[in-house]
Amino acid sequence: MSGLEGLFARTRAEGRAALVGYLPAGFPTVLGCIEALIGMVAAGVDVVEVGLPYSDPLMDGPTIQRAAEIALKGGTTTDDVLETVRAVAASGAPTLVMSYWNPVERYGVGRFADAMAAAGGAGVITPDLTPDEAGPWLDAVGAAGVDPVFLVAPSSTPERIARVADVTRGFVYAASTMGVTGVRSQVASSAQDLVGRVRRATDLPVCVGLGVSTREQAAEVAGYADGVIVGSAFVRRLLDAPSVVDGVRASVALAAELAAGVREPAVAREP
């Protein structure tokens, strides 16, 4: 059983969704990111996504783009990303990397998969890699024992959802909207329908991302999804803070708030 399988088995037994927290490696600094993520885990984040900063982040909104710029200007490398994974995974939370495909390909497909395994990483999310083009990657992560995670969107056809579910391990990432990442006043109404369509195709856990920023939104999504993914809201806490120390405290406080949301009685939860 992989780390992600074990985690979702536990949260399902507890009758709740998992909280998935994201920060780009190297933001606000390499050590500051590690400190924030470990603190977020202690405050209730169940799964961690470590972003690999990239200079052409097509799916990212302005908040995460700004954080990636700061990380890149600070000299963050792929090896720094892997060291972040190693440090955070040691805290006990399944830790993934979220990366556009180009940096993985440049690093070396097999080399990256092996490095993730060596760092204790649980999986890799590749938002711009389609299953149809993922053959070498699937071979590499399969050999390394690392879970490949792919995305579905509200526009995904039943055939596309089935194809994604066939190659994904760990969980299916359900993007709640067709837009870029960012905090929103409410979670898209299409999210619950998308989760239902994915569940008709697979028994894998389904995690919803893009837009969640408050305890109330986390509780809402936790009522129908297996996991609630939060990224921009954590990044914003760090961006708005006057210092790294204050930003870490703010991100940990948000983690506690969101963790309380996903742990609220889930009377609406679907089996």
Q: Which residues are catalytic?
A: 49, 60
- Both tokens of 74, joined, read 């600070």
What is each CA distance from 170 to 65, 135, 140, in whole angstroms? 26, 18, 16
As a whole number of angstroms, the distance between CA 189 and CA 56 comes to 29
